[in-house]
Amino acid sequence: KRNIGKSENSGFDGELNYRGSIGDFSYNVGTTFSYAKNKVVYVSEAPAYPYQAQTGHRIGTKLGLKCVGFYQQEDFDENGKLKEGIPAPAWASNLQPGDLRYADLNGDNFITDADKTYISKPDTPTCTYGITLGGSWKGLSFNMLWQGAFDYAIPNMGGNLIPFVNNMQELMLERWTPQNTNARFPRLYYGKNENNTKPSTFWMGDARYLRLQELSLAYNLKVPALQRILGINSMNIQLMCENLAVWDSVNIFDPEQATSCGQAYPLPARYSLQLYLNF
C-alpha cells in the first residue's frame, strides 16, 4: 500500500479601503476578502463503490449516509415491522416512525456502511471576509468591524441531542410526531439511538455567519475650566463593545464556538467604558 495523492488548490485575497468626507463628517469604509478552495485530483484508492471515491471531492469532506427524511407510520405494518421492500438499517433493532431514513445507494435493501458516501462540505470555510466602517463628526466618532465566513458545514447537533440525557431544550419541540411529519428533528427517545445519530447529511448544517465583532463610540470633550484648574487639555470617553450580535444559518449554537456541536460556553458580549485624560 502506498500513500499517493494529488490535490489542486486555488484562491485569492484582497483588501479595499476608501476615505472621504461630506462637510464636517469624515468617513472610511474597508473590506478584506479571502477565497481558498481545494480538490482531490487523485488519490491511491480502490473504493467498493464509485460513490465512495474521494477523488473529485474537497479535502476534509467526510463519509456519511444520505438522509432522505423520516420513516413514517405508513412504512410499518400492523405488527410494527417495516413493510417489505423498504430498506432497513442493519444496526436498528427497535425502528419506529420518526426515525431517520437513509438512501440505499448499493440497492441491497439494507442500510449499512456500504451506503456511505462523501457528504456536505468540509468544516473549513472557503470564503472569509471582514468589513470596517468608521466616521467622525466634530468630537464624536464611531468604528465598526464586521466579520463572516461561508461555504462550509459543521455538525449541527447529532449525538449531542439526546432527550432526557442531555438537558431538555426548547428546540426539541420541533421533533417528529404523527402530527408533525416534516419536522426539524427525529422523534423523542430515551438514551442513545444508534440509527438517528449516524453521521449523515441530516446533521450537517450550513455554517455561514455574519458577526458584528466590534463597535466603538467615542467623544472628545474639551472643558476650558478643567484645563485651567487641573491642566487637562481634553477628555476622551469611549464605549467599547465586542461580539454584539451574530446572524447565522445554524440557529442552535454559535458557529465560532470551540467545538463543532456547541459543547462550549457561548461567546459572550463584552462592554467597557474607558476614559482618557490628555494633559
Give the model's pLDDT for residue 101: 96
H helices then E strands: how many in the chain? Answer: 1, 15
Is the pLDDT assigned to residue 160 strictly greater than 60? no
Asked if residue 159 lies in contact with residue 198, where contact means CB atoms within 8 angstroms, the answer is no
Which has more confidence, 231 or 115? 115
Is the pLDDT assigned to residue 100 strictly greater than 80? yes
For the chain, the average pLDDT equals 86
Q: How many Å apart are CA 43 and CA 58, to the nearest integer?
A: 12
Q: How many Å apart are CA 205 and CA 254, to the nearest integer?
A: 12
Three-class secondary structure of residue 192 per DSSP: coil
Is the pLDDT assigned to residue 161 strictly greater than 70? no
pLDDT confidence bin for 261, thresholds 50/70/90: low
Q: How many Å apart are CA 231 and CA 216, to the nearest integer?
A: 27
Give the model's pLDDT for residue 192: 76
pLDDT confidence bin for 230, thresholds 50/70/90: low
Is the pLDDT assigned to residue 221 strictly greater than 80? no
Which has more confidence, 226 or 27? 27
Return the closest-CA partner of residue 189 out of 90, 273, 92, 66.
92
Model confidence over 196-218: pLDDT tens digits? 888 899 988 888 999 999 999 99
Mean pLDDT, residues 38-46 taken together:
89
Mean pLDDT, residues 247-255 taken together:
80
Give the model's pLDDT for residue 228: 62
Q: How many Å apart are CA 38 and CA 3, to the nearest integer?
A: 19
